[in-house]
Amino acid sequence: MVSCVLSKCGIRPLPRFYPKPTNSFASNPSPTLKLNPPSSLNSRSVFLARTRNWALNVATPLTTLETPPEEEEDASRFDPGAPPPFNLADIRAAIPKHCWVKNPWKSMSYVVRDVAIVFGLAAVAAYFNSWLLWPLYWFAQGTMFWALFVLGHDCGHGSFSNDPRLNSVAGHLLHSSILVPYHGWRISHRTHHQNHGHVENDESWHPLPESLYKKLEKTTLNFRFTLPFPMLAYPFYLWGRSPGKNGSHFDPDSDLFLPKEKKDVVTSTACWTAMAALLVCLNFVMGPIQMLKLYGIPYWIFVMWLDFVTYLHHHGHEDKLPWYRGKEWSYLRGGLTTLDRDYGWINNIHHDIGTHVIHHLFPQIPHYHLVEATEAAKPVLGKYYREPKNSGPLPLHLLGSLIKSMKQDHFVSDTGDVVYYEADPKLSGQRT
């Protein structure tokens, strides 16, 4: 409208002289002031209102009045699949140096605390032996089993300490006690981190290509996408991995492992077998019902925690997040598709595993520094960091994210290097 007025008056607009915008994450561009005339004024009234101070008005950025709203919206729209304007070195430089320091005494203090709580809960539950207390015990003890797993998880990443022997001993004690083969899991989890966000090469909770998805039997699809079955998947994954992948975490000859890693796998399988034998002996001493109450049910609560947390770290965001193949995949871009989650009171209990983005990019950072490291990295990550929704005391809000994802995130296209989950109409309307 202003351009029309100027042209009728024989006056040419001033040339555009705005500085070019920068894509650098470190930039802090000044906001552009937009002056929009009231909608009730027509072209003539606007012209007459401005004639008394014309020089001032022609200095106003006229192009802001000519920009269609659609173009402004397109310019501000964020593409999560686009390469980020920063690199790993930029993120690393933003994290304080002390966040990289591993304190074995501090790590061991968490082990002592959690093990003491585990035995204390079991002693109290066995002493009172009340059906009013057993459900509370099962939830609390299952959550503590999950906390033990997270500490063993730190051992597997080497963030527990700088001593590989201490990491191995602590990792075996922690993971064997909850029937997880330490080295078998450690090696496959390393594969997960090295290939996070890759459709074919990722190891856990990776998407199914459409062609593979359509070949699965209905029973398999129901177990994978119908709750609560996916939340009970972990022991079966340890034995047989995910659909489309072969091997076992207990088999040293599995294609999960390199030849030089066979001895490690044998060691972990032997430790797992020893724990299983101990549980069988305790069944004869205490009776199977008592062992089911003390260990069996908490074990399955732990499994549900593990599947619940690990799934939602890679699924269930309000916006669809990309998965990559081929040249589009990189360690950084794959890691940026992971999600932080807030678990309320559980955050401290399970050692801030919800601060998952920085952990995936830099797994060597100890868990007790992850929150600080994440806060320091946020200005660099910008929109590539998705702020988690605040939780109440318990993360009940995440149940909705889980249910929605199970109904919508079924497979990805067989083609394309940047792909997004698609829904199977036959399952989308299915009750979960």
Joined together, the tokens standing for residue 165 give: 């022997």
Residue 21 forms part of a structural domain: no
Residue 213 forms part of a structural domain: yes
User: Looking at residue 66, what is its pLDDT?
Assistant: 46
How much is the mean pLDDT over the chain? 85
User: Looking at residue 369, what is its pLDDT?
Assistant: 98
Per-residue confidence band for 38, with pLDDT thresholds at 50, 70 and 90: very low
Contacts of 347 (CB under 8 A, 6+ apart): 354
Question: CA-CA distance, 371 to 358, in Å (whole number)?
Answer: 9
Least confident interval from 40-49, 85-94, 204-213: 40-49
Question: CA-CA distance, 144 to 394, in Å (whole number)?
Answer: 15
Question: CA-CA distance, 377 to 304, in Å (whole number)?
Answer: 31
Q: What is the pLDDT of residues 52-61, one digit of tens each?
A: 443 333 333 3
315: containing domain: 88-422
Selection from 135-144, 204-213, 309-318 with the highest mean pLDDT: 135-144
Residue 31 forms part of a structural domain: no
9 has pLDDT over 70: no
357 has pLDDT over 70: yes
Question: CA-CA distance, 199 to 206, in Å (whole number)?
Answer: 6
Per-residue confidence band for 76, with pLDDT thresholds at 50, 70 and 90: low
Least confident interval from 121-135, 149-163, 235-249, 372-386: 235-249
Q: Are residues 394 and 346 in contact, defined by beta-carbon separation less than 8 angstroms? A: yes
264 has pLDDT over 70: yes
Instruction: Output the pTM of the full model.
Output: 0.81
Mean pLDDT of 233-258: 90
User: Looking at residue 50, what is its pLDDT?
Assistant: 43
User: Looking at residue 48, what is its pLDDT?
Assistant: 39
Contacts of 260 (CB under 8 A, 6+ apart): none
Per-residue confidence band for 157, with pLDDT thresholds at 50, 70 and 90: very high
User: Looking at residue 193, what is its pLDDT?
Assistant: 95
431 has pLDDT over 90: no
Per-residue confidence band for 32, with pLDDT thresholds at 50, 70 and 90: very low
Mean pLDDT of 201-223: 90
Burial class (CB in 10 A: 0-12, 13-18, 19+), 363: middle
Residue 79 forms part of a structural domain: no
Beta bridge partner(s), residue 80 = none
Joined together, the tokens standing for residue 308 give: 């619940």
Higher pLDDT, 27 or 128: 128
Percent of the chain whose pLDDT exceeds 70: 81
Residue 1 forms part of a structural domain: no
Residue 70 forms part of a structural domain: no
Percent of the chain whose pLDDT exceeds 90: 73
* DSSP-based three-state secondary structure for 419: strand
Question: CA-CA distance, 271 to 398, in Å (whole number)?
Answer: 35
Beta bridge partner(s), residue 209 = 412
69 has pLDDT over 80: no
E strand or H helix that includes residue 323: strand 323-324
| Total domains present in the chain | 1
Cis peptide before 19 (omega within 30 of 0): no
- What are the CA-CA distances from residue 346 to residues 109, 150, 301, 306 (Å)? 18, 12, 14, 13
User: Residue 2: CA atoms inside 13 Å, Cβ hemisphere, count?
Assistant: 21
Residue 208 forms part of a structural domain: yes
Higher pLDDT, 427 or 62: 427
Q: Are residues 114 and 142 in contact, defined by beta-carbon separation less than 8 angstroms? A: no
